[in-house]
Amino acid sequence: MSITLARIAELTGGRLAGDGARVLDRARPLEEAGPGDLSFVASEKVLPRLPGCAAGALIVLNGLEITGRDVVYHENPHAAMAQVVEVLYPEVAPEPGVHDLAVVHPDARLGEGVSVAPFAVVEADAVLGDGVHIGAGAVVSRGVRVGAGTIIHPRVVLYPRVTLGKGCLVYAGAVIGAEGFGFALVGEQHVKVPQVGGVEIGDDVEIGANSCIDAGTLAPTRLGDNTKVDDLVMIGHNNQIGRSVLLCGQVGLAGSNTIEDFVILTGQTGVSGHLRVGKGAMAAAKSAIMRDVAPGEKVAGVPHMPLDLWRRVWKASQRLPEMRREMKALLRRVDDLERLMDSEAP
């Protein structure tokens, strides 16, 4: 697929500067782009790399004036680039229908334009909305509800009592609604506590490959609209996650947390159970959240602390060997002074 620079400006609402008739065939990084490629500049930091860039055209952040190139200026180059990429690399919609090698129970209800790929299983009383796609080898268990336009990639497992909203994407290998990790100690034995609450997922939610979302104990584990879950994320039972939350790779949530709207937890952050992370809070990579986080707070570290404090602690930690040497030298001087004072005492 190809697109002209003028069409890019029209599509994204950007400002054209240069040859609007220039045709672009691909989107590529600055270092790899050629004359038929589109790339982007979202920060002043990138400007030193431009002399070696052979891209045919650029989407550039407003305020960064670039001469001698065909450009579309935009307030958000990342978002504009995403729009263009959808045009340059259109998704191929699966053909509607149930493949001969799929197993769909007669009592399952399928909307218009549903597609079910080979070796997928759709059990009794499952409901698939219009335009839903179930990938090869996926399992949609009894009674599951899948909203219109949702795409379930290969080998996803949706356990009973799972509901997904409209326009969701669930990538390969994700498991949603498995029993939460709940046990009671009876005598000297751990006895399983049944986890029958299921999972409720809102609209426009993405679940990354090989992520797991456990069923709630008695009430559902919930994810709000537009929340995005990266690959290899673990969401324990009873978590209540708001809308437009970002959970990056290898984040782990123990049970019964409340993660409010617009929270961002970056890679390998862990959240202990029964905590509240306030609206708009952010955690740096590898943070260990051990107590509540206030709305809008930025934290880092193990256990977590305010980000500014963590930076000071980290900088100080880089001087520990030097500080140790200085401390030993000071102790030696103190010993010398004490011996001198003792020798001069009457």
Burial 56-69 (b: 16+ CB within 10 A, else e): bbbbbbeebebeeb
| Residue extents of the structural domains in the chain | 3-88, 97-308
Residues 59 and 8: their CA atoms lie apart, in Å, by: 9
Q: How far from 234 is each of 28, 144, 215, 219, CA to CA, in Å? A: 32, 21, 12, 18
What value does the mean pLDDT take over residues 178-188?
Answer: 95
Residues 296 and 263: their CA atoms lie apart, in Å, by: 8
Evaluate the CA torsion angle 300, 301, 302, 303 in order and state its sign. negative
Active site residues: 237
Evaluate the CA torsion angle 140, 143, 147, 148 in order and state its sign. positive
Q: Above 80 in pLDDT, residue 344?
A: no
* 3-state SS assignment for residue 300: strand
Q: What is the pLDDT of residue 208?
A: 98
Q: Above 80 in pLDDT, residue 90?
A: yes
CATH fold of 97-308 reads: UDP N-Acetylglucosamine Acyltransferase; domain 1 (2.160.10)
* 3-state SS assignment for residue 72: strand
Backbone angles phi, psi at 84, to 5 degrees: -70, -40
C-alpha angle 134-239-279 in degrees, rounded to nearest 5: 105
Q: How would residue 85 be classed by pLDDT, with cut points 50, 70 and 90? A: very high
Burial 280-318 (b: 16+ CB within 10 A, else e): bbbbbeebbbeeebeeebbbbbeebeebeebeeeeeeee
What value does the mean pLDDT take over residues 101-114?
Answer: 98
Q: What percent of the chain has pLDDT over 90?
A: 89
Q: What is the pLDDT of residue 65?
A: 86
Residues 154 and 102: their CA atoms lie apart, in Å, by: 12
Cβ contacts of residue 268 below 8 Å, gap of 6+?
249, 250, 251, 252, 285, 286
Residue count of the chain, please give it: 346
Architecture of the domain defined by 3-88? 3-Layer(aba) Sandwich (3.40)
Residue type, 164: L
Decide which of 282 and 68 is more confident.
Answer: 282
Q: What is the pLDDT of residue 220?
A: 98
DSSP state, 168? -
What value does the mean pLDDT take over residues 5-31?
Answer: 95
pLDDT tens for 38-57 read: 999 999 998 999 988 999 99
- Range name among 30-34, 89-93, 129-133, 286-290 with the lowest pLDDT average: 89-93
Give yes or no for a contact between 181 and 255, defined as CB atoms under 8 angstroms apart. yes
Residue type, 267: G
Q: What is the pLDDT of residue 339?
A: 85
Mean residue pLDDT of the chain comes to 95
Residues 58 and 139: their CA atoms lie apart, in Å, by: 43
Q: How would residue 167 be classed by pLDDT, with cut points 50, 70 and 90? A: very high
- Same fold: 3-88 with 97-308: no
Cβ-in-10-Å burial (0-12, 13-18, 19+) of 117 comes to: buried
Q: Above 80 in pLDDT, residue 322?
A: yes
Q: What is the pLDDT of residue 340?
A: 82
pLDDT tens for 121-151 read: 999 999 999 999 999 999 999 999 999 999 9
Q: Above 80 in pLDDT, residue 346?
A: no
